[in-house]
Amino acid sequence: MDVIIIPAYEPDEQLVRLVDELSKNDFSLVVVDDGSGEKYANIFAQISNNAHIVTLEKNCGKGAALKAGMKYIKDSLPECKHFITCDADGQHRPEDAVRVREQLHKGNKFVLTVRERKGKIPFRSRFGNDLSKIVYALLTNRYLSDNQSGLRGFARSNLDWLINVEKNNYDYEMNVLYYAATMGLKITTIPIDAIYIENNASSHFNPIRDTLRIYKSLFTLARGTMISLLAAELLILILGFFVENQYITITVPSVGAIALLLRILLEKYIFLKHVPQCDYFTTLCYTIISYFVYMLMCKLIVLIFPLIPLIINFNMVYLICVPLRFFLHQLIFIASLTKE
Q: What is the pLDDT of residues 71-83, one digit of tens each?
A: 999 999 999 999 9
Walking along the chain (340 residues) 10 residues at a time, the average pLDDT comes out as 97 96 97 97 97 97 98 98 95 96 98 82 71 92 92 97 94 96 95 72 68 91 96 97 93 97 94 88 92 97 96 97 93 78
Q: Which pLDDT score is estimated for 9?
A: 97
- 217 phi-psi bin (left φ>0, alpha ψ -120 to 50, beta other): alpha
79 & 180 share domain:
yes
Q: Which pLDDT score is estimated for 67?
A: 98
Q: Which pLDDT score is estimated for 196?
A: 64
- Element at 316 (helix H, strand E): helix 310-339
Q: Which pLDDT score is estimated for 201?
A: 52
Nearest to 229 by CA among 321, 330, 305, 143: 321
Quote the pTM value.
0.92
268 & 319 share domain:
yes
- How, if at all, do strands 82-85 and 52-56 pair? unpaired
282 & 199 share domain:
no
Q: Last residue of a domain, which of 164, 192, 220?
A: 220
Q: Last residue of a domain, which of 168, 192, 220?
A: 220
User: What is the C-alpha separation between 4 and 30, in angstroms, rounded?
Assistant: 6
- Element at 4 (helix H, strand E): strand 2-8
102 & 166 share domain:
yes
228 & 122 share domain:
no
Q: Which pLDDT score is estimated for 274?
A: 86
Give the distance, in angstroms, between the CA of residue 80 and the centroid of all CA atoms in the same chain: 24
233 & 211 share domain:
no
Asked if residue 4 lies in contact with residue 28, where contact means CB atoms within 8 angstroms, the answer is: yes
253 & 286 share domain:
yes
Q: Which residues pair with 114 in a beta bridge?
A: 191
**327: domain range?**
223-339
115 & 7 share domain:
yes
40 & 23 share domain:
yes
Tally Cβ neighbours within 10 Å of residue 31: 28
76 & 190 share domain:
yes
Q: Last residue of a domain, which of 201, 220, 239?
A: 220
Domain count for the chain, please give it: 2
Q: Which pLDDT score is estimated for 339?
A: 63
Asked if residue 126 lies in contact with residue 165, where contact means CB atoms within 8 angstroms, the answer is: no
- The length of the chain is 340
CATH number of the domain bearing residue 40: 3.90.550.10
Q: Which pLDDT score is estimated for 123?
A: 67
